Amino acid sequence: MATNKHAQIRYTILDRCFSNSNRLYTYLDLLDEVNNVLYDLGTDGIQLRQLQYDIEHMKSDSGWAIPLDESLKKGRKKAFRYLDKNFSISNHPLNFNDSEQLETTIAILSRYKHRSEFSWLEELIPRMEQSFKLVESGDNGIISYQENLDLKGREHIGTLFNLILKRKKIKINYEPYGKPQFNVKISPYHVKQYNNRWFLFCFNEDYKTISNYPLDRINSIEELSNSFIPSTINWLDYFDDIIGVTKPEGGKLEKTHLKFSEKRIHYVLTKPLHGSQKLDRSDPTGRTISIEVIPNNELYQLLLSFGADIEVISPKLVRVEIINKIKLMSNQYDYAE
């Protein structure tokens, strides 16, 4: 059974052919489809026997157990197509060999999850086990994650990942809320998830600065041949001084003191608002904390989410901004019955 570096390419081509409901493929047709791609890649083609091995592997339990209609003919020659027109190996669970390899990888990663620098593995490993169906069928309800599978823009993540990796300049078609769509040329640097939404950070050629675009507002992405403008930003540190994804240009760090109600302070102490959070020892009640961040819209949204359980003590600019927002909210209900 072939396991060389082009095997997955061949399986993908065959899968596409078997999924085509508008055409029947014979062995020779399939051989042409596979070899045309391999020739374009600058490598040798395969022989009929290798093609037959590939199909048998895909049909086997160690492959994807693909459901082929064995009764089809094209003239007098045997032809191939999936019995289920919706079947595709891209939507199919991992095959046996893939599962074994992934389980081995997870077992190796698990050795490091208790080290502080790899604490993120504590969440990643069970997520991978469940996503790739490596848990028993009766265990599917053990863990659930807050994720919107229908979120618009998710389809761009893989494309952007590869373009960033290859350092390719791109043109995106972007559609702001309530405004006409427009095209913009950018050098993409980083994709970040915040509050169940994905954002692309990039260098904007029009503004000559760092911009971010929500993926759900991007209509299309086009790779350009222009030169990529490299980033000098350490993206591991970029978000350290903000909450969320908005970094105001020229914004300054502000030490913000927040006092919580008795019933909410314990929640905040166990689930810090920011990495800089500290308990303010000068408050004898033990209900005041401080965080050091650049004020932005996400900070104000977070603070307002606590309602009457929070008071902004300082600085004045953050306190005044919250007061103004509360007044605007209150005005909405002046005439409530």
- pLDDT for 178 equals 86
Is the pLDDT score of 56 beyond 90? yes
Name the packing angle between helices 297-304 and 316-331 (round to 10°): 60
Higher pLDDT: 226 or 102? It is 226
Closest CA to 85 of 22, 27, 155, 34: 22
Cβ–Cβ < 8 Å for 272, 279:
no
- pLDDT for 3 equals 43
Residues 6+ apart with CB under 8 A from 253: 241, 292, 293, 294
Burial 8-18 (b: 16+ CB within 10 A, else e): eebbebbbebb
Is the pLDDT score of 19 beyond 70? yes
d(CA 186, CA 202): 6
Tokens of 193: 């998830």
Cβ–Cβ < 8 Å for 192, 199:
yes
- pLDDT for 146 equals 60
For residue 328, which phi and psi values (nearest 5 degrees)? -65, -40
Is the pLDDT score of 52 beyond 80? yes
pLDDT tens-digit map of 158-176 = 788 888 888 899 999 999 8
Is the pLDDT score of 285 beyond 90? yes
Is the pLDDT score of 2 beyond 60? no
Is the pLDDT score of 118 beyond 70? no
Closest CA to 300 of 277, 319, 280, 281: 319
Burial 132-146 (b: 16+ CB within 10 A, else e): eebeeeeeeeeeeee
Q: Coil, helix or strand for 313?
A: strand
